């Protein structure tokens, strides 16, 4: 449980900076903790010379709280410094408390005790900010639970059902679920091609929130929901197939964002579109060099069945534009391993065709304190996909460069000229083999601007 200036716990987490140490027993190593029982304090030592910004504090203090086994008061104001304002210190420590208060339902017989954190602060806007963070981070933790479920439990049908059951209590959301018969009737040939080897039906779950009925503007947020990705006949090597249960993270994040919008009720129109299937090998599975027709009519030569997320999402984009009247398109997906090579595991890659759209998103990322980095669209990436002798485009190139940009460029073929912003969360969706719910905070802030 997280409290704000509530019932005091026995032990208090407190920051001590390098020039304020008054006890020789405190370990003087950056972000080292020292438990002094007689003072009822758990001190975390911070050397300002080695710490520069919010992100460094977050990364290091996340590890501190993950190792903690105690109920704690957290003295927020003790962390305020020239590097961290009182506002940022409160946002940081409240976010960390919620993240570490994740209801850890592992599938074993061990008992996990929920810890209590009592945030103690004089920050004048603490109550307002706390209530907002509680809503947003509750969705983050629900999405993390979905991410962590194993693929033998969370197949495409179960994921769709769980999302619908979680959101159906919101009267301001309209939820539409399309199964295989409906998708075949629509002609979503790309999504169906990914699903061809599966024994579970594909799903598109469309979640519409209309917060501004006087406006014709609507954002389609399309999430990749591959509940397990073997690579299909372009099968992954053993080391790359592990943790492919997290390939549904984009769809889960989309559902989390829609939950936040239903609760916070900003004046904006958004439709969340979850493109859900697995990518398996079987007698009917799609073979490389197959050609399928997308929902918008483009023919695609599928020369790599392991580039499947972009196929499923392409039909989802078209559904958002043609069936839900979207005027802007966003996609969020664990789309490419190449983004990890480019940006590592702490920064989300962003592509955008619209400067204004990107600037709004960048502002939201600064409010949420989630790291992002913009990468370029370039005509050469588009041209790399136009070399098919038989179809309009291919779904992959084999030049082994620009993999993330090529994938984003593929999606852009289906946006019909609308402003487009794509998030590749392949590196940031997990931490230590657990889900993070990344980008829920930034996307919520974006839609509430």
Give the pLDDT score at 105.
63
Give the pLDDT score at 400.
78
Give the pLDDT score at 76.
97
Give the pLDDT score at 103.
67
Highest-scoring range by mean pLDDT, 50-59, 172-181, 235-244 = 172-181
For residue 185, count CB atoms less than 10 angstroms from its CB and return exposed for 0-12, middle for 13-18, buried for 19 or more.
Answer: exposed
- Catalytic residues, by residue number, are 236, 310
Give the pLDDT score at 109.
65
Percent of the chain clearing pLDDT 70 (strictly above): 97
Q: Write the pLDDT tens digit of every residue in 140-149.
A: 999 999 999 9
Q: Mean pLDDT, to the nearest integer, of 251-260?
A: 98
Give the pLDDT score at 106.
66
Count Cα atoms within 13 angstroms, Cβ side, for 188.
32
Q: Mean pLDDT, to the nearest integer, of 354-379?
A: 96
Strands laid side by side in the 11-17 sheet: 2-4, 117-120, 72-75, 11-17, 41-46, 33-36
Q: Per-residue pLDDT for 350 more than 80? A: yes
Count CB-CB contacts under 10 A for residue 449. Answer: 11
Q: Per-residue pLDDT for 114 more than 70? A: yes
Q: Per-residue pLDDT for 253 more than 90? A: yes
Give the pLDDT score at 50.
62
HEC secondary structure over 184-242:
HHHCCHHHHHHHCCCCCCCEEEEEEEECCCCCCCCEEEEEEEEEEECCCCCCCCHHHHC
Collapse the DSSP code of 48 into the 3-class scheme (helix H, G, I; strand E, B; otherwise coil) and give the result: helix
Q: What angle separates helix 156-167 from helix 126-148, to the nearest 10 degrees?
A: 160
Of the listed ranges 67-71, 190-194, 202-206, 249-253, the least confidently predicted one is 67-71
Q: Mean pLDDT, to the nearest integer, of 107-131?
A: 88
What would the two tokens of residue 72 be?
């704690």
Q: Mean pLDDT, to the nearest integer, of 311-330?
A: 98
Q: Average model confidence (pLDDT) for the chain?
A: 95
Q: Per-residue pLDDT for 51 more than 70? A: no
Q: Mean pLDDT, to the nearest integer, of 245-260?
A: 98
- With tokens 């979640």, the residue in question is 207
Q: Per-residue pLDDT for 26 more than 70? A: yes
Q: Mean pLDDT, to the nearest integer, of 86-101?
A: 95
> DSSP assignment, residue 147?
H
Q: Mean pLDDT, to the nearest integer, of 239-263?
A: 97
Give the pLDDT score at 117.
96
Rounded Cα–Cα distance for residues 408 and 417 (Å)? 14
Give the pLDDT score at 413.
98
Q: Mean pLDDT, to the nearest integer, of 195-205?
A: 98
Give the pLDDT score at 398.
79
Rounded Cα–Cα distance for residues 92 and 403 (Å)? 34
CATH superfamily ID and name for 136-448:
Zn peptidases (3.40.630.10)
Q: Per-residue pLDDT for 108 more than 80? A: no
Q: Where are the domains of the chain?
A: 2-121, 136-448
Look at the domain 2-121 and name its fold: 3.40.220
Question: Which tops the pLDDT comparison, 82 or 131?
Answer: 131
Give the pLDDT score at 38.
92
pLDDT confidence tier of residue 11, bands split at 50, 70 and 90: very high
Q: Per-residue pLDDT for 125 more than 80? A: yes
């Amino acid at each position: 449980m997280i409290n704000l200036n509530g019932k005091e716990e026995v032990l208090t987490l407190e920051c001590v900076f390098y020039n304020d140490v008054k006890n020789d027993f405190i370990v003087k190593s950056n972000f080292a903790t020292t438990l002094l029982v007689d003072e009822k304090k758990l001190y975390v030592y911070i050397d300002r010379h080695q710490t520069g910004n919010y992100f460094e504090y977050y990364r290091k203090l996340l590890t501190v709280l993950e190792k903690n086994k105690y109920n704690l008061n957290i003295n927020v104001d003790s962390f305020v410094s020239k590097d961290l304002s009182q506002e940022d210190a409160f946002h940081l420590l409240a976010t960390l408390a919620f993240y570490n208060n994740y209801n850890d339902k592992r599938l074993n017989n061990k008992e996990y005790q929920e810890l209590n954190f009592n945030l103690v602060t004089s920050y004048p806007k603490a109550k307002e900010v706390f209530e907002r963070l509680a809503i947003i981070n509750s969705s983050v933790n629900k999405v993390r639970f979905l991410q962590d479920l194993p693929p033998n439990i969370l197949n495409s049908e179960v994921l769709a059902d769980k999302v619908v059951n979680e959101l159906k209590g919101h009267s301001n959301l309209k939820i539409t679920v399309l199964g295989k018969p409906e998708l075949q009737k629509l002609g979503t040939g790309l999504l169906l091609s990914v699903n061809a080897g599966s024994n579970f039906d594909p799903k598109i779950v469309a979640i519409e929130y209309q917060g501004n009925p006087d406006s014709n503007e609507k954002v389609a947020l399309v999430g990749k929901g591959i509940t397990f990705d073997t690579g299909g006949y372009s099968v992954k090597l053993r080391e790359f197939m592990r943790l492919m249960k997290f390939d549904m993270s984009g769809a889960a994040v989309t559902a989390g964002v829609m939950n936040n919008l239903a609760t916070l009720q900003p004046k904006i129109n958004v439709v969340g579109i979850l493109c859900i299937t697995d990518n398996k090998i079987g007698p009917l599975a799609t073979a490389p060099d197959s050609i399928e027709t997308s929902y918008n009519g483009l023919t695609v030569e599928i020369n790599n069945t392991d580039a499947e997320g972009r196929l499923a999402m392409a039909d989802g984009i078209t559904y958002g534009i043609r069936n839900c009247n979207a005027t802007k398109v966003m996609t969020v997906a664990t789309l490419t391993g190449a983004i990890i090579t480019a940006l590592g595991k702490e920064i989300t890659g962003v592509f955008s065709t619209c400067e204004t759209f990107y600037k709004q998103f960048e502002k939201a990322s600064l409010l949420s304190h989630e790291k992002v980095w913009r990468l370029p669209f370039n005509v050469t990436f588009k041209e790399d996909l136009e070399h098919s002798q038989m179809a309009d485009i291919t779904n992959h190139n084999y030049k082994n460069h620009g993999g993330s940009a090529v994938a984003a460029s593929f999606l852009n073929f289906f946006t019909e000229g609308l402003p487009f912003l794509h998030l590749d969360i392949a590196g940031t969706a997990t931490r230590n083999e657990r889900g993070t719910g990344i980008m829920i905070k930034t996307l919520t802030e974006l839609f509430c601007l």
